[in-house]
Structure 1
Amino acid sequence: MSDTTMPHTPTEARAEARTVSFRGGGFAPQRKRWVGGVVFVLLIAIAEWGTRSGWISALTLPKPSDVLETLIELHQSGLLYKHLSPSLSRLVVGAALGASLGVGVGVLIGLFSYIRAGLVPLVAAIFPIPKIALLPLFVIWFGIDEGSKYALIAFGTFTPTVVATYGAVDNVDRSLIRMGQSFGLSWLSIVRKIVLPGAMPGILSGLRISLAIAIILLVAAEMLGAEYGIGAYILEAGALYDLERLFAGVLILSVLGVVLSTVIGLIERHLLDWRS
């Protein structure tokens, strides 16, 4: 009895190989934008139901609808922009100074051994210091006006940006650098075409953390000697135990953080489109 099984042709073998699914696909991130919105709406709905039914005490959490009414009143009275404008100004100036200096110093530490040997111990010494504890010192140095607020935000943004940047430079694939050297690229071309693009994902990830720290320090700085600002608004609401206004201020900070994270995401998609 002859064997009826015929050997596969090369074409059939390739067709079968193409049908094998990639089992590592679960590690590839997929965008599910609607999930975040659903979770947010669900939490708000639970808080609204809990506060209206009495399950959550009004002394613990205000009604989300009351917080929304407070935000609408802030907008209609113009106080929202009186508080938001100086906060945005302080955040932009302070974070821009700290982040730009941090990226520059971090790149120098990653590229030059002598600078690394001199500055890494200094950065390691000042990085764990709570920056809020230095606010009185900055007030003495720069005055109680805008200078101390800019300095505190810049200093708080500077140190995490430095650490993230030189860590990102260190993590650039050395085989790519050696490949550039083998093709005869100059040192400057290797830095511009290989090192900086390779370090950019780590640098942008560090900026996310640095900007979050900048918002925290902004609130702390505005709680001292500021007439207008989100921090001053939250401080006043807390002193009066006005939970609606307090949570309205917290919500504004939360939205600000989401906006900054979205901006970083847009920058990532623009600068890192070579990864796709």
Structure 2
Amino acid sequence: MAGDDTQIHIADLIGNELPYLRRYARALTGSQSTGDNYAAATLEAILQEPAIFQRALSPKTALFRAFHLIWSTAGAPTADTEDPESLLESQALAHMSGLTNNTREALLLSTIEGFSFEQVGKIMDIEPGEAANLVDIAISEMQKSMSGRVMVIEDEALIAMDIHSIVSGMGHTVTGIARTRSAAVELAAKEKPDLILSDIQLADNSSGIDAVEDILGQFGDIPVIFITAFPERLLTGDKPEPAFLISKPYTEEQVQSAVSQAMFFASSRSLQVEA
């Protein structure tokens, strides 16, 4: 009975953090299904062995630390490479081998999930200074390894200009900015983007999700980053969900990190084809 009470208490502690663990897991692996599998495995492990959930830490930090224990034990994989349909994710394995160990983990934890370097250290079992160094290395390595054409779908002019500045400052070319669903489709038709960065609610009350679906229906697989004030609404598990998600209000570092991650996986496919 005491064990049941412990499980219920832990479930209460981490319930609100699960959407963010799933966001992190899928960005880390580049796959919704693989990320969700490791998030689920983490929950099962915590329920079977509550000691891996360190209560001295904040619930979110303890949850992410437990995830890293499970994920690292499995060899820090990206995706199910035996699935022939997972070409984008499986080909990222070869590309990832050229990156310094643990850099992407530290980058995502710090910039996307908002952990301090001290918290990143607790999660990854490293010193805060090492965590900061890993983030710097990740940004440098990933920005130098690729550049491409980025399309922005955003109806707020100031935000659109800010994103344009951040993305172009990273060395990418911004193909244009669209404020509505129809404008987005027209813009993509003029020049196919390598990456789409899209808001959810657009100027004509249309959906950025619908605009992206229209574009993907025309061109096939293009990496997408969504921006929303309510990321948990897109992390329900009920349907295909974005691997890359930025919460509003965002920071420059969050945009840089998400763009680098998305372009990283996208470039993995082209690198493999050229080889």
Bin of the TM-score, shorter chain as denominator length: under 0.3
Larger Rg: 1
Higher relative contact order (CA 8 A, sep 6+): 1
Q: Which one has a larger percent helix, Structure 1 or Structure 2? A: 1
Relative to the length of structure 2, the TM-score reads 0.20
